[in-house]
């Protein structure tokens, strides 16, 4: 039976420890991809290596082979983080809702019929607010793969443009020219820390910072560039946003000052 990668289902022509399409690490006794256990196991092995040993991963990561594998990896990882974060928010929100409900019940018992009616109305409004928040939260989890796909492609494009501006690959670099597909692959696997969003409160911030760091490491490894140039390329999308905001703000100030000058004249 022909073997295939359990992550992206790429057909393997010969035995290998690394998928040439998505970069997943394959066990020597690779079994057919229909095995869910093998699929999940390879996914988490790759995920752990990217987070704990990003340099080693990106040194071996194939630079070509298609977009489907890396994008699937990114979508699954980001969705897992978003779904877990939604569950945490739901649990914390439920605890908060219970405390509010208990307080309103006490108000009703102490204040008589009028206050009891007021407490019930306030309780109902709180329940409605919680239900609305839950619906919006569940909707964000459902649409997360589509949003992640769009943002990943756009971010990859902007980082690619930044890399074209800031990075000059060295002679011993794995890639001698800055191309879009290797950058896309680095960005996709750079989303691995999204899994940290399952940690309450600080998980989202940690995931964002670590994603930037791992993406920069990926660019450093495939282009043999320094941290400053890789960092500038990774931050290029954010620099564009800041620049656009500053330009809009400066334009508004200029218009206001021009108008005030015209009035005073």
Residues 171-191: tens digit of each pLDDT: 888 888 999 999 999 999 999
CB atoms within 10 A of CB 147: 14
Containing structural domain, residue 28: 1-52
If asked whether residues 43 and 69 sit together in one domain, one would say: no
Query: Between these two residues, 251 and 135, which has the higher pLDDT value?
Result: 251
How confident is the model over 9-33, as a mean pLDDT? 58
Contact 101, 89 (CB under 8 A): no
Instruction: Please provide the average confidence, as pLDDT, over all residues in the chain.
Output: 78
If asked whether residues 3 and 71 sit together in one domain, one would say: no
In the predicted model, is pLDDT for residue 6 greater than 50?
yes
Say which residues have a Cβ less than 8 Å from residue 109's Cβ, sequence separation at least 6.
116
Model pLDDT, residue 261: 65
If asked whether residues 141 and 22 sit together in one domain, one would say: no
Model pLDDT, residue 237: 93
If asked whether residues 35 and 71 sit together in one domain, one would say: no
If asked whether residues 108 and 229 sit together in one domain, one would say: yes
Look at the chain and report how many structural domains it folds into: 2
If asked whether residues 146 and 57 sit together in one domain, one would say: yes
Q: Which residue has the tokens 């443009």?
A: 161
As a whole number of angstroms, the distance between CA 264 and CA 31 comes to: 81
Model pLDDT, residue 262: 55
Is 253 contained in some domain?
A: no
Contact 165, 236 (CB under 8 A): yes
Model pLDDT, residue 29: 39
In the predicted model, is pLDDT for residue 18 greater than 70?
no
Contact 23, 53 (CB under 8 A): no
If asked whether residues 36 and 124 sit together in one domain, one would say: no
If asked whether residues 128 and 219 sit together in one domain, one would say: yes
If asked whether residues 203 and 121 sit together in one domain, one would say: yes
If asked whether residues 129 and 26 sit together in one domain, one would say: no
Is 245 contained in some domain?
A: no
If asked whether residues 37 and 61 sit together in one domain, one would say: no
In the predicted model, is pLDDT for residue 48 greater than 70?
yes
Model pLDDT, residue 177: 92
Is 255 contained in some domain?
A: no
Query: Between these two residues, 229 and 125, which has the higher pLDDT value?
Result: 229
Model pLDDT, residue 201: 76
If asked whether residues 196 and 131 sit together in one domain, one would say: yes
Is 92 contained in some domain?
A: yes
């Amino acid at each position: 039976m022909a073997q295939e990668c359990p992550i992206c289902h790429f057909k393997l022509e010969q035995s290998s420890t690394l998928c040439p399409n998505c970069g997943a690490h394959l066990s020597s006794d690779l079994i057919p991809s229909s095995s869910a256990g093998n699929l999940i196991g390879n996914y988490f092995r790759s995920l752990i290596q990217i987070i704990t040993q990003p340099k080693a991963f990106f040194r071996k990561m194939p630079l070509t082979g298609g977009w489907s594998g890396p994008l699937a990896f990114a979508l699954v990882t980001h969705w897992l983080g978003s779904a877990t974060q939604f569950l945490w928010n739901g649990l914390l929100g439920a605890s908060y809702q219970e405390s509010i409900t208990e307080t309103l019940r006490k108000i009703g018992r102490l204040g008589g019929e009028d206050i009891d009616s007021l407490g019930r109305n306030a309780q109902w409004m709180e329940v409605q607010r919680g239900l609305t928040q839950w619906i919006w939260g569940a909707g964000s989890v459902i649409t997360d793969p589509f949003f992640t796909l769009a943002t990943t492609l756009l971010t990859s494009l902007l980082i690619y443009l930044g890399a074209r501006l800031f990075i000059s690959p060295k002679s011993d670099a794995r890639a001698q020219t800055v191309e879009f597909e290797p950058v896309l692959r680095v960005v996709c696997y750079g989303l691995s820390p999204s899994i940290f969003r399952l940690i309450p409160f600080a998980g989202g911030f940690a995931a964002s910072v670590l994603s930037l760091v791992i993406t920069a490491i990926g660019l450093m490894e495939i282009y043999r560039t320094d941290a400053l140039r890789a960092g500038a390329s990774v931050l290029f999308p954010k620099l564009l946003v800041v620049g656009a905001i500053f330009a809009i703000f400066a334009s508004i100030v200029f218009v206001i000052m021009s108008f005030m000058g015209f009035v005073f004249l």
